């Protein structure tokens, strides 16, 4: 939380004024019982008469008005700094998230990042707001009431002090006991959620095996456990109201007894007794508010901790100083490259190969063989753990990610388009692209029919995730988006899987004819997509199982043969 406090720096004045005005309001509230005492002692009993009483009551109203003004001011400043705080926090957080590396993104997971960004920040915002509003007020009223009691009578003050201590022990004690209990029932509730999901997701299998009764039995067991844990937690938290009520009233009884003694001896008046009685009533309300506030603040702290974790991630984006002239025989070279998943297991082991400018490289292998990992090393989306990935003799980790990515056109496995027009999506590749450039990229990606089929052509609107397009249409548009960039290196990461064979072939023919002659990497699971490549890498479990042309590999790579013949029959090849 402390780290996040810097986001209040532009709202320093507001953050001080808010609690200040709250204190002011509280101070006015504390004066009220004194005035009531004076009404009774001086007005009624002391014979100062009706005019005095009316005067005093006008002061009460005036105190109310001043209190209203101060608290409205306080609310405004509190809201302003909380909202401003959240704004700057969100903006920074978003920037930080955008700067995370691929492996950091994998590590946190996108759904968690979204939660940090939305509900966590909101919770922190309301935490800041509540703290500014109440954190000063409640303790101030509680202790203020006690101090006022001391000014009236020392004995009474001590009675207040003891009552407050006992109340605190009870209120916070019950909270401390019940919080873990509620956590436990929450865990039980999560189990119920999982069970409900399971019965829906697995409905076909469960019904195929006639497991309905078992499911109900299992669920009822968990349901009963939840109910029991809720009742138990309730049993203890149900003590809160009666116990605090008892303590405050016992405190009042003792207070009145001592007051009786002091009035009898003449050191206290009846009006002052009434004032003390009123102060006692104020304590309880504020203490309960404070307890609730602490719950909110604890939640906010937990959220702040999670948000701070994101900020604490080290920056893994390489700035780099661009390409330097280097003596290199090959355009791209992998030298004994190993890469690993965030879990630690090797995704790639000892991969070495070379690529010349303008070549087409095919990469094939089963799922989890490391194909995507391999191509992701080229634009330095992931770093190699061992070995070097060189472009023009420069290690990609020293080149600088922005420059590297500007020269690579990547078509990811998952065909993602963004809300906006087709043109806006295409301009991701190059913000300055003209319509002609865009259309030629679209033609090359065999996507002109997609644009033609949509009302408005390039101005057609694409919904979130490209929902209004088919999988094949999305894939072709993502390919076009990468081509708008006119990249030196084009990476197709299994991105033609939804295309039929004819379109796939046409696309590859178009790529060969591009005048800027990019170096192309094609990841695929189909041998037909890569058989014409200059070089094919066969990956098996992260290792290079073979390298060569289609014919060479058929000749001498067992795995490649297996893959090929499982897709084509022997005689068909």
Partner 1 sequence: MAAPSKRGVYRRILKQLKPYSALVALTIFLALVTVAGNLWAPIIFGDTIDLIVSRREVNFEGIAYKFILLACVIAATCVAQWLMNIINNRITYEVVRDIRSKAFAHLQVLPLNYIDSHSYGDIVSRNIADVDQFADGLLMGFTQLFTGVLTIIGTLVLMLTLNWIIAIIVFFITPLSLFVAKFIATKTYSMFIATSKIRGEQTAFVEEMIDNLKVVQAFNHEEENGRQFDKINDELTKTSLKSIFYSSLTNPCTRFVNSIVYAAVALSGALTLIFPSVLPIAFSAGKLTTLLSYSNQYTKPFNEISGVVTELQNAVACAARIYELIDEPAQIPDAPNAKELCDVKGDVSFEGVDFSYTPQKPLIRNLNISAKAGQRVAIVGPTGCGKTTLINLLMRFYDPQEGKITVDGNDTQNVTRRSLRLNYGMVLQDTWLMQGTVRDNITIGAPQATDEEVIAAAKAAHSQNFIMQLESGYDTVIGEDGGNLSQGQKQLLCITRIMLCLPPMLILDEATSSIDTRTEMRIQNAFAKLMQGRTSFIVAHRLSTIKEADIILVMKDGNIIEQGTHEELIAKGGFYYNLYNSQFAK
Near partner 1 by CB under 8 A: residue from 16, 60, 154, 295: 60
Cβ closest to partner 1, residue 198 vs residue 354:
198
| Segment interacting with partner 1 (CB under 8 A) among 155-163, 172-180, 299-307, 426-434 | 426-434
Residue 389 parent element (H or E): strand 386-391
Cβ closest to partner 1, residue 263 vs residue 335:
263
Q: Which of 31, 153, 136, 148 is nearest to 78 (CA)?
A: 136
Near partner 1 by CB under 8 A: residue from 10, 87, 423, 550: 87
Min CB(537)–partner 1 separation in Å = 16
Near partner 1 by CB under 8 A: residue from 2, 176, 180, 208: 208
Min CB(102)–partner 1 separation in Å = 6
Report residue 435 as tokens.
């319509």
Number of chain positions touching partner 1 (CB under 8 A): 154
Scanning residues 528 to 547, which ones bind partner 1 (CB under 8 A)?
528, 540-541
CB 460 within 8 A of CB 421: yes
Angle ∠(492,419,485) on CA atoms, nearest 5: 40
Alpha carbon distance 95, 479 (integer Å): 27
DSSP string over 487-535: -SEEEEESTTTTS-HHHHHHHHHHHHT-TT--EEEEEES-HHHHTTSSE
| Segment interacting with partner 1 (CB under 8 A) among 154-162, 441-449, 494-502, 509-517 | 494-502
Q: Does 171 bind partner 1 (CB under 8 A)?
A: no
Scanning residues 429 to 488, which ones bind partner 1 (CB under 8 A)?
429, 431, 464-465, 481, 485
Q: Does 67 bind partner 1 (CB under 8 A)?
A: yes
Near partner 1 by CB under 8 A: residue from 10, 75, 316, 392: 75
Q: Does 294 bind partner 1 (CB under 8 A)?
A: no
- DSSP code, position 46: S
Among all chains, which residue has been given the structure tokens 């209190």?
A: 67
Near partner 1 by CB under 8 A: residue from 17, 24, 63, 496: 63
> Which residues, 6 or more positions from 51, have their beta carbon under 8 angstroms from its beta carbon?
none
Near partner 1 by CB under 8 A: residue from 312, 327, 515, 569: 569
Cβ closest to partner 1, residue 110 vs residue 556:
110
Q: Does 257 bind partner 1 (CB under 8 A)?
A: yes
Near partner 1 by CB under 8 A: residue from 274, 288, 313, 543: 274
Cβ closest to partner 1, residue 349 vs residue 528:
528
Near partner 1 by CB under 8 A: residue from 2, 98, 176, 327: 98
Min CB(491)–partner 1 separation in Å = 9
Among all chains, which residue has been given the structure tokens 């209990």?
A: 181
CB 537 within 8 A of CB 377: no
Near partner 1 by CB under 8 A: residue from 6, 9, 196, 321: 196
Q: Does 509 bind partner 1 (CB under 8 A)?
A: no
| Segment interacting with partner 1 (CB under 8 A) among 7-15, 148-156, 332-340, 560-568 | 560-568
Near partner 1 by CB under 8 A: residue from 271, 518, 542, 546: 271
Near partner 1 by CB under 8 A: residue from 150, 170, 182, 270: 270
Min CB(488)–partner 1 separation in Å = 14
Among all chains, which residue has been given the structure tokens 């070379």?
A: 354
> Which residues, 6 or more positions from 19, have their beta carbon under 8 angstroms from its beta carbon?
74, 132, 133, 135, 136, 137
Min CB(457)–partner 1 separation in Å = 22
Cβ closest to partner 1, residue 114 vs residue 162:
114
Report residue 566 as tokens.
């499982």
3-state SS of 145-175 is HHHHHHHHCHHHHHHHHHHHHHHHHHHHHHH
Report residue 441 as tokens.
């990229």
Q: Does 94 bind partner 1 (CB under 8 A)?
A: yes
Alpha carbon distance 447, 19 (integer Å): 61
Give the relative orientation of helices 121-130 and 49-98 as an angle to the nearest 10 degrees: 150
Half-sphere CA count of 2, side-chain side, radius 13 A: 0
Among all chains, which residue has been given the structure tokens 């001498």?
A: 556
Find the length of the chain.
Answer: 573
Scanning residues 349 to 408, which ones bind partner 1 (CB under 8 A)?
365-369, 379, 381, 401-402, 405-406, 408
Near partner 1 by CB under 8 A: residue from 95, 180, 314, 329: 95
Alpha carbon distance 54, 42 (integer Å): 12
Cβ closest to partner 1, residue 177 vs residue 261:
261
Q: Does 243 bind partner 1 (CB under 8 A)?
A: yes
Alpha carbon distance 550, 529 (integer Å): 11
Residue ranges with strand state E in 95-239: none
Cβ closest to partner 1, residue 83 vs residue 452:
83
Report residue 544 as tokens.
């290079």
CB 357 within 8 A of CB 330: no
Cβ closest to partner 1, residue 84 vs residue 157:
84
Report residue 294 as tokens.
């602490």
Q: Does 314 bind partner 1 (CB under 8 A)?
A: no
Alpha carbon distance 100, 96 (integer Å): 7
Near partner 1 by CB under 8 A: residue from 200, 327, 329, 515: 200
Q: Does 423 bind partner 1 (CB under 8 A)?
A: no
| Segment interacting with partner 1 (CB under 8 A) among 150-158, 164-172, 229-237, 547-555 | 229-237
Q: Does 138 bind partner 1 (CB under 8 A)?
A: no
Min CB(256)–partner 1 separation in Å = 5
Q: Does 428 bind partner 1 (CB under 8 A)?
A: yes
Cβ neighbours, 10 Å, residue 143: 15
Near partner 1 by CB under 8 A: residue from 31, 263, 458, 514: 263
Q: Strands 386-391 and 332-340: what pairing?
A: antiparallel
């Amino acid at each position: 939380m402390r780290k996040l406090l810097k986001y209040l720096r532009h709202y320093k004045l507001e953050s001080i004024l808010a609690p200040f005005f709250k204190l002011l309001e509280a101070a006015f509230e504390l004066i009220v019982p004194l005035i009531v005492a004076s009404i009774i002692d001086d007005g009624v009993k002391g014979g100062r008469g009706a005019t005095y009483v009316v005067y005093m009551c006008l002061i009460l109203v005036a105190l109310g008005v001043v209190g209203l003004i101060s608290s409205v001011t306080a609310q405004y400043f509190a809201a302003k700094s909380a909202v401003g705080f959240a704004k700057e926090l969100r903006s920074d957080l978003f920037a930080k998230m955008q700067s995370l590396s691929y492996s950091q993104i994998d590590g946190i997971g996108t759904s968690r990042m979204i939660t940090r960004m939305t509900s966590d920040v909101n919770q922190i915002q309301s935490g800041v707001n509540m703290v500014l509003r109440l954190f000063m007020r409640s303790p101030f009223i509680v202790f203020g009431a006690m101090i006022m009691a001391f000014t009236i009578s020392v004995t009474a003050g001590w009675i207040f002090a003891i009552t407050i201590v006992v109340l605190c022990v009870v209120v916070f004690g019950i909270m401390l006991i019940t919080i873990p209990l509620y956590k436990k029932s929450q865990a039980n509730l999560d189990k119920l959620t999982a069970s409900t999901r399971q019965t829906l997701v697995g409905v076909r299998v469960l019904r195929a095996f006639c497991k309905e009764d078992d499911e109900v039995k299992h669920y009822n067991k968990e349901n009963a456990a939840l109910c029991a844990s809720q009742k138990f937690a309730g049993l203890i938290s149900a003590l809160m109201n009666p116990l605090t009520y008892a303590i405050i009233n016992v405190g009042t009884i003792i207070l009145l007894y001592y007051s009786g003694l002091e009035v009898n001896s003449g050191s206290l008046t009846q009006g002052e007794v009434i004032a003390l009685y009123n102060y006692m009533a104020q304590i309880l309300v504020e203490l309960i508010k404070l307890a609730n506030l602490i719950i909110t603040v604890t939640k906010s702290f937990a959220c702040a901790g999670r948000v701070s974790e994101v900020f604490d991630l080290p920056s893994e984006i390489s700035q780099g100083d661009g390409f330097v002239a280097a003596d290199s025989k090959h355009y791209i070279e992998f030298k004994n490259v190993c890469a690993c998943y965030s879990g630690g297991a090797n995704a790639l082991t000892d991969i070495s190969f070379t690529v010349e400018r303008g070549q087409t490289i095919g990469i094939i292998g089963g799922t989890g063989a490391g194909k995507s990992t391999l191509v992701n090393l080229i634009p330095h989306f992931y770093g190699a753990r061992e070995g070097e990935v060189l472009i023009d003799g420069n290690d990609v980790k020293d080149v600088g990610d922005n420059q590297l990515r500007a020269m690579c056109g990547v078509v990811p496995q998952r065909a993602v388009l963004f809300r906006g027009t087709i043109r806006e999506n295409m301009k991701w590749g190059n913000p300055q692209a003209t319509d002609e450039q865009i259309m030629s990229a679209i033609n090359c990606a065999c996507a002109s029919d997609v644009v033609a089929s949509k009302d408005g052509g390039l101005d057609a609107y694409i919904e979130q995730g490209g929902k209004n397009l088919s999988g094949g249409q999305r894939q072709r548009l993502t390919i076009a988006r990468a081509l708008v960039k006119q990249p030196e290196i084009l990476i197709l990461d299994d991105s033609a899987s939804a295309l039929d064979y004819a379109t796939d072939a046409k696309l590859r023919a178009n790529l060969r004819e591009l005048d800027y002659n990019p170096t192309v990497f094609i990841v695929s699971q189909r041998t037909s997509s890569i058989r014409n490549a200059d070089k094919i890498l066969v990956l098996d479990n992260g290792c290079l199982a073979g390298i060569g042309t289609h014919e060479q590999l058929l000749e001498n790579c067992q795995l490649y043969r297996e893959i090929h013949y499982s897709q084509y029959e022997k005689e068909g090849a």
